Amino acid sequence: MSKIIPAPDALIGKRMDVALAKMLGISRAKAGELIDSQQVRLLDRPMVKSKSLHTGDLIELDLEHPSQPPEPIADDMAVVYEDEDIVVVDKPVGVAAHASVGWTGPTVLGSLLNRGVHITSYGAAGRQGIVSRLDVGTSGLMLVCKSELAYKEMRRQFSEHEVVKTYHALVQGNLNEDKATIEAPIGRAKVSDFRFTVTPSGKAAITHWDVLERFGVATLASINLETGRTHQIRVHFSSIGHPLVGDHMYGANPRLAEELELDRQWLHAMRLEFRHPRTHLWTRVDSTYPRDLQHALDMVRMRPDSR
């Protein structure tokens, strides 16, 4: 039985055999054998193991797989807004936006489809209806499109930075100013495929922040993004010496996170503001802190060194 999957973003530019090995969890030699025997092919061009994987490539696999368990469902994922065109969910931590290579946990898309929510077919295979994503380790509001009209219009609004995205983050240390802007290009870090960094060769990235509350050891900030680079908030605050509390990947102090009983970065997508794709009315959707972030915030407020 054949299966067709889009080329994963993280593997674009890799050799075909290297990419296939990572996708299937097999050796590079075995991947080469599958390509040579044409058990794995590209739909629109020849698949040569020494050539690079391109954006938009569709990979067809003739492989026998043991039956896979069904995708876990995020039963606790709340729907905070829904109409005929869009659905906005309050994504819990530990839920991915969509299925990807190596991810076996629940996804926003899979959980919505499991509930019988109609999602437009527009978008890449396995990512239909999705115009903006949140990291697995970030909770909060995420919009998914149900109609073709919504997909086209909301994709435009997100790409042209017309959507107002407000996040709250608890960052380490005491920010020097009450409000400021971080403008620094972000690109993939050379030390890891999964980390990003401020680099002159990166893409433009702009982050605005306002202080909400100061605790000395940490600062609660409201953040608006002009751009939507991967890990943008995490990278930008780390670059100015104030990594997000609990964000060990970008230099957070693990002892502080342990004291606050926090096992992920303190970051939540609090508000989405956009022009409704059909009515064109300005629309605002709000969230509240999930239990683990609220608990950590309560803990830092009770510290004797909090201001």
- Main-chain phi, psi angles of 291, to 5 degrees: -60, -45
Determine what percent of the chain falls in helix, strand and coil, rounding each to the nearest 5: 20, 30, 50
Is residue 30 left, alpha or beta, with left meaning phi > 0 and alpha meaning psi from -120 to 50?
Answer: alpha
Long-range contacts of 15-23 (CB under 8 A, 24+ apart): 15/49, 15/50, 15/51, 15/52, 15/53, 16/47, 16/48, 16/49, 16/50, 16/51, 16/52, 16/53, 17/49, 17/50, 19/53, 20/59, 22/101, 23/59, 23/101
Distance CA 5, CA 138 (A): 26
Query: In this structure, what are the phi and psi dihedrals at residue 58, rounded to the nearest 5 degrees?
Result: -110, 125
User: Looking at 90, 135, 286, 305, which residue is catalytic?
Assistant: 135
**Pick from 209, 202, 299, 198: which is nearest to 246 by CA?**
299
* SS3 (DSSP) at 73: coil
173-197 burial, b for 16+ CB within 10 Å, e for fewer?
Answer: bebeeeeeebebbbbbbeeeeeebb
b/e map 95-110, b = 16+ CB within 10 Å = bbbbbeeeeeebbbbb
Active site residue 292: no
**Catalytically active residues, by annotation:** 135
